[in-house]
Chains A and B, each alone.
Chain A
C-alpha cells in the first residue's frame, strides 16, 4: 500500500480514493478527486491554478527547499523489515511533521512581514485625505488638534494628548 500524491493538487491520495489515468505513453497520472481529474481533462496547468500546491511553490508562497522534505522522497528499494527501524520511524514521523509545520509558519510570517506597517501607512493616508467625510473642513481649521499629529519631535506627554484627541473624534 502506498500513499501517492495527486498529480494536480499534490495532496495525498489514500487507498480507495481517486482515479488513476494511464496515458498511452504509459505515464500514470493520479488524482485525488474528481475536481482535480476534471481540471486535468480541461488541460489546465496546475502551476497556474491558484489553489494547488504547485502554484504556491512556484509563486513562493510555500517553502520549496527544506531538509524535512527529504524524508518524503520516493524510494524504490524496499527496506527489509527491522522492528527497531520501524519503531523509530513511527516515533519520528510526528516530530518531523511538527518541525515542518513550524518552519512553514516561519516562512509565512516572513512573507507577511511589513504588512502591518503598510496597513498603518495606508490608513493614515486615508485618514488625512478623507477627513472631510468625517468632519467638515471648516471645523478642522478652527480646531487643528483634530487632524493627525504632524511628525514633529515633541515630548511624549504632549504627543499623547494630541493622539487622544484624534482618537476621540
Chain B
C-alpha cells in the first residue's frame, strides 16, 4: 500500500513491499516494520526517490483492537522511516501515535511524538 510519511526524513510517500519478520503475511498493522520503497520525496534531502528503506507503521485506517476492548481508528495510513536498529531517521514526527509503539520498544519515536 501507499503510506504517508509522518516524519521529516525527506520521504513523502512510501510503497510497502514486504513485512519483516513474517513469512507470507498479508497485512501489517500498527507497530510492524515494513520494507518500503520511496515513491515521492522532498527534494534535496538525504533520502531519494526509489530508495528501499525500512519503516514502522504508526497509523492505519483499519481499526486497532486492544485487549481492554477499545477499538481505535485513524484517518490515514502513516509510517516513520527507521534504520536497521529501529531508530527513526527523521527528527520530528507529525500526528498522533498509538500506545502500542511504546511496548514494542520504539521509545525514540514515542518521545518525539506530539500526541
Binding site for B on A (CB under 8 A): 15-24, 26
Contacts and interface: CB of A to CB of B under 8 A. Distances in A.
B96 A22 contact: yes
Nearest to B73: A21
Interface residues of B, number: 15
Contact of A18 (B59, B71, B96, B114): B71
Given A22-B96, A24-B74, A24-B96, 15 more contacts: A15-B68, A16-B70, A17-B69, A18-B71, A19-B63, A19-B72, A20-B70, A20-B72, A21-B74, A21-B75, A24-B76, A24-B95, A26-B96, A26-B114, A26-B115
A41 to B, nearest CB: 10
A16 B69 contact: yes
Given A16-B68, A19-B63, A26 B95 contact: yes
A15 B70 CA distance: 7
B69 A22 contact: no
A107 B6 CA distance: 51
Interface of B: 59, 63, 68-76, 95-96, 114-115
A17 B70 CA distance: 7
A26 B75 CA distance: 10
A15 B69 CA distance: 7
Contacts of A20: 70-73
Contacts of A18: 71
Contact of B73 (A15, A17, A19, A26): A19
A19 B71 CA distance: 5
Nearest to B114: A26
Nearest to B78: A24
Nearest to A13: B70
A33 to B, nearest CB: 12
B57 to A, nearest CB: 14
Contacts of A24: 74-76, 95-96
